[in-house]
């Protein structure tokens, strides 16, 4: 008897279907481990706001198991010294695994940051990101690194240039180096841009972050334009960036200069919460942040004028005016400093 003839002898053969396989039963509240384990790329597909395992359909407990295993493997590598740092001390793995996730909580949930014009940041090669500086502590510089890392299509790192004071404090110096920062000097900046890195600089320096709340969003002097000379020598585009929100996190009401001189620091701020609340006064106020990257200013055609004071001054003034005008535009978009 052929197979077709056999099927015809079955009652109701036209509607005959093999039974659907039963769904795997849970054992002790868990489904059996699938034959193909969930890959690392699939776990990474879960967005921070999604429930664990929702994007992949994986068992949440299995996903957490993999995350714990990954964390233990990371600790083993760190303890064994099996990681790399560059010539400036930048630890890329530690930055991506520890520093950036911690800063992202402030950036996304506390400051509710919005970013505009990220397409103006170079996709590859060197670039000089020049921003306004404010906020008593250099939190704006840290938030700028998160903005570029999270929103740029290439997820680029921003190498910050820091003041000498940062690198004279033992523990802070190590953290700064590990996160990719280096001393604000032209040789280091030029070397980083030549090797294709994005470099972040804040020409206002301590004058910017230490100004009083009454002078908020009024740019201070940009110094002698050393950042422009570094960009000209390397032919690197300059990208002005305007940041609003930092002025409100620690509003400076007064500066106790005698105490600042005694401690050897640029200023000693008095804010609505510090020093009155002690350590709690260091918690930033939850202001609404906006970051706008402006159109890049090319410099490759001006390399021969890197030592011309007038060219350097005019270009620095152009960058300053661009940032100041953009700050006014952003303030109009954000009428309420603590709104949603």
Predicted local distance difference test score (pLDDT) of residue 58: 60
Predicted local distance difference test score (pLDDT) of residue 78: 79
- The overall average pLDDT reported for the chain is 85
- The Cα-based distances of 279 to 42, 102, 111 in angstroms read 41, 19, 20
Predicted local distance difference test score (pLDDT) of residue 57: 59
**What band does 29 get if pLDDT is binned at 50, 70 and 90?**
very low
pTM: 0.79
| Whether the Cβ atoms of residue 184 and residue 234 lie closer than 8 Å to each other | no
Flag the least confident range among 37-46, 164-173, 200-209, 273-282.
37-46
Alpha-carbon span 124 to 135, nearest angstrom: 30
Tell whether the model's pLDDT for residue 43 goes beyond 90.
Answer: no
129-163 confidence digits (pLDDT tens): 999 999 999 999 999 999 999 999 999 999 999 99
Predicted local distance difference test score (pLDDT) of residue 34: 40
Alpha-carbon span 152 to 316, nearest angstrom: 25
Predicted local distance difference test score (pLDDT) of residue 18: 42
Taking residues 39-60, report their average pLDDT: 45
247-276 confidence digits (pLDDT tens): 999 999 999 999 999 999 999 999 999 999
* Residue of 150, 160, 120 whose CA lies nearest to 293: 120
272-331 confidence digits (pLDDT tens): 999 999 999 999 999 999 999 999 999 999 999 999 999 999 999 999 999 999 999 999
Reduced to 3 states (helix: H, G, I; strand: E, B; else coil), residue 125 is coil
């Amino acid at each position: 008897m052929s197979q077709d003839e056999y099927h015809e002898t079955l009652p109701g053969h036209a509607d005959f279907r093999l039974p659907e396989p039963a769904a795997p039963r849970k054992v002790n509240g868990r489904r059996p481990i699938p034959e193909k384990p969930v890959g690392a790329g699939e776990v990474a597909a879960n967005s921070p706001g999604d429930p664990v395992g929702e994007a992949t359909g994986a068992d949440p407990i299995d996903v957490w198991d993999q995350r714990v295993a990954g964390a233990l493997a990371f600790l083993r590598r760190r303890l064994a010294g099996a990681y790399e740092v560059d010539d400036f001390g930048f630890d890329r793995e530690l930055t991506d695994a520890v520093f950036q996730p911690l800063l992202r909580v402030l950036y996304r949930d506390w400051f509710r940051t919005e970013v505009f014009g990220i397409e103006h940041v170079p996709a590859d090669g060197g670039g000089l990101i020049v921003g306004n500086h404010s906020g008593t502590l250099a939190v704006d510089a840290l938030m700028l690194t998160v903005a570029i890392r999270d929103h740029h299509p290439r997820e680029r790192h921003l190498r910050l240039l820091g003041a000498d004071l940062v690198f004279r404090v033992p523990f802070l110096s190590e953290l700064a180096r590990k996160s990719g920062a280096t001393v604000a000097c032209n040789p280091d900046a030029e070397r980083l841009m030549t090797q294709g890195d994005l470099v972040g600089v804040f020409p206002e320096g301590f004058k910017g972050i230490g100004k009083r709340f009454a002078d908020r969003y009024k740019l201070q002097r940009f110094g002698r334009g050393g950042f422009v000379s570094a960009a000209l020598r390397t032919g690197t585009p300059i990208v002005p960036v305007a940041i609003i929100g930092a002025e409100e996190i620690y509003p400076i009401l007064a500066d106790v200069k005698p105490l600042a001189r005694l401690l050897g620091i640029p200023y000693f701020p008095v804010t609505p919460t510090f020093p009155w609340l002690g350590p709690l006064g260091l918690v930033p106020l939850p202001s609404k942040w906006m970051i706008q990257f402006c159109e890049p200013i090319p410099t490759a055609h001006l390399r021969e004028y890197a030592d011309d004071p007038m060219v350097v001054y005019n270009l620095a003034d152009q960058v300053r005016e661009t940032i100041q005008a953009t700050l006014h535009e952003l303030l109009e978009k954000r009428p309420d400093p603590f709104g949603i």
